[in-house]
Amino acid sequence: MARRSRHRGSDRQLHGVLVLHKPEGPTSAACLERVKRVCGQPRIGHAGTLDPLATGVLVVLLGQATKLSNYLTGADKTYVGELELGRTTDTYDIQGTETSRADWSSLTPETVAAAVTAWQDDTTQEVPAYSAAKHQGEPLYKLAREGRDAPVKVKEITIYEAEAVTLDLPRCIFRVRCSAGAYVRSLVHSLGIRLGCGAVMTALTRTQSHPFTLDMAVSLDDILAEPERLGERIIPLEHALPHWPRVALDARQAEELKRSGRLPWEAGTTDAQAFAPGQRALFLDQHGKALGLMETGIEKTGGAAVWTVLRGLWEA
């Protein structure tokens, strides 16, 4: 990934992406609150939460980078986890209350490995009762804790890859790459149902939230111990979407973009590139700093092909 930059400006708010290595235990919200308080970052968000049990990549958005949330939250995720056969809990993970036990001893490693691989056939899953998904404005976990009824919610998912990495029954270490929002503990629970003995997730690490990987992550302890180094640990806006095309503008074009919120299509293309509505790119100013996320379209008046701002990233 590209270089990291120090904060520029007179205030304390930084602008960029912090790849945090979330520890086991605290919620994602609690981790963000600690960074916000200790590092003095009033504008802070994330691009996808992790359960308290889970560790690994938590993409933290600072300042203007909070505007990137919609373009990072939907990225696919990769996890390495561990499950244990023969028992279930109300949360589908080891932190919940045990609800059943069953014999798993007739299962072979080959059978369990095949059941993990079969996750790739799943296109929907039930949302766990203990989750942050909402019903009539209230999180499901709150309704569950209070003993109130809530409808079973089903969501569409895509499992791109799934494999058993290590089998030492009743435990299995697995790797899965899935669409955003998929609940890995629900995959484990469904595997237990299919095998007839139940299963519970005992550990989970997010190794990638595309395009950010675990080897880029900084531990929460390190961040809190040295808040003065936060600026050098963030990925600046101009490098926060490496999978997007980048367009460099000259000074005149940059000022026109900030003034009108649009530019002629030719400003961001080459002669060989064909126009199509919906093309997207990250536009940079003459100094290489992020100006905005842009998209091609047709003006309603006049029918000209133009780039328009999806999200402006320049500082006022």
Which burial class, exposed, middle or buried, applies to 7 when counting CB atoms under 10 A from its CB (0-12, 13-18, 19+)? middle
Q: Please tell me the total number of residues recorded for the chain in this structure.
A: 316
- Angle between helices 109-117 and 184-195 in degrees, nearest 10: 130
pLDDT of residue 136: 54
Cα dist. 314→101, 284, 289 in Å?
57, 9, 8
Of all helices (H) and strands (E), which one includes residue 19?
strand 16-22
d(CA 161, CA 158): 9
Torsion of CA 258, 264, 265, 269, to 10 degrees: -80
Tokens of 208: 């990638």
Pairing of strands 16-22, 218-219: parallel
pLDDT of residue 2: 42
Instruction: Output the DSSP codes for 218-284.
Output: EEHHHHHH-GGGHHHHSEEGGGS-TTS-EEE--HHHHHHHHHHSEEEGGGG--TTPPP-TT-EEEEE
pLDDT in tens, the chain (316 residues): 444 434 433 348 999 999 999 999 999 999 999 999 999 999 999 998 999 999 999 999 999 999 999 999 888 999 999 999 999 999 999 999 999 999 999 999 999 999 999 999 999 998 876 666 555 566 555 655 656 666 777 889 999 999 999 999 999 999 999 999 899 999 999 999 999 999 999 999 999 999 999 999 999 999 999 999 999 999 999 999 998 999 999 999 999 999 999 999 888 775 557 888 999 999 999 999 999 999 999 988 888 999 999 999 998 6
d(CA 10, CA 56): 32
d(CA 309, CA 290): 12
Catalytic position from the list 11, 51, 168, 221: 51
- Contact at 8 Å (CB) between 130 and 93? no
What the chain holds in terms of domains, given with CATH numbers, is 16-74+211-237 (3.30.2350.10), 77-209 (3.30.2350.10), 246-312 (2.30.130)
From 89, 94, 240, 262, select the one nearest 171 (Cα to Cα): 94
For the question of residue 90 being annotated catalytic, the response is no
